[in-house]
Structure formats: structure tokens, C-alpha cells
Amino acid sequence: MGRPISNRLKRETKTLRQALGTVVTRLRVERNWSQGEVSQKSGYTTEYLGIVERGKANPSFQLLVVLADIFDIHFSQLLARAERLHRKQAAKPQAKS
């Protein structure tokens, strides 16, 4: 059994890839699904989904289509959510070192 699902997961959104992973994580957590459940529904391994959620891999077009389908949203909505989240992060003033 995996770890409990937390709605307080913190994810980086500095890159669009990270923002997309954050969106996938949020959609999964909103539905109280584990990565294992998403793995079963999507046909992709939990390991790969975890890497995508952490923004460490560029997901394939096919994976994005499958994820949009299992989360019952349009493909364009999935990308738009990621873009909005990324722009929100980019608009934040950066701390100077």
C-alpha cells in the first residue's frame, strides 16, 4: 500500500514540465486516487507517473491524451492549467541572492 494522499503536496512550477506534473498531481489528489490507481487506468507504471508528477520527465503526447481522458477533462484544459500555473510562478518576484 502506498503513502496516504495529501492535498498539501508542494511541487515546483518553475518550468512548464514541472507545472504540468503539478497539475497531474492535483487532479489525482482531488479524486483521492493513488498513483497505482492512475497507473491501472492509464497503462503506465507508477514509477513513470511519479517522475512525470515531479516534473523530471517530458511526458509523451499519448500519455497526456490518456491522462486528460481518465481525469475527464479536455486535452487543451490539461495544458492550459499547466500554462496558467507556470505563468503564475513566473510572475512572482524572484528573491535576490
- What are the structural domains, with CATH classification, of the chain? 16-81 (1.10.260.40)
**Of 26, 13, 25, which Cα lies nearest the Cα of 88?**
13
Q: In this predicted model, what pLDDT tens digit does every residue of 17-37 receive, in sequence order?
A: 999 999 999 999 999 999 999
How far is residue 26 from each of residues 33, 61, 93, 96, measured CA to CA in Å? 10, 19, 24, 30
pLDDT of residue 1: 44
**pLDDT value for 9:** 61
Q: Which pLDDT value is given to residue 14?
A: 82
pLDDT for position 93: 72
- Whether the CB-CB separation of 12 and 32 falls below 8 Å is answered with no
Residues of the chain with pLDDT under 70: 1-11, 94-97
The pLDDT assigned to 4 comes to 47
- The whole-angstrom separation of Cα 52 and Cα 93 is 26
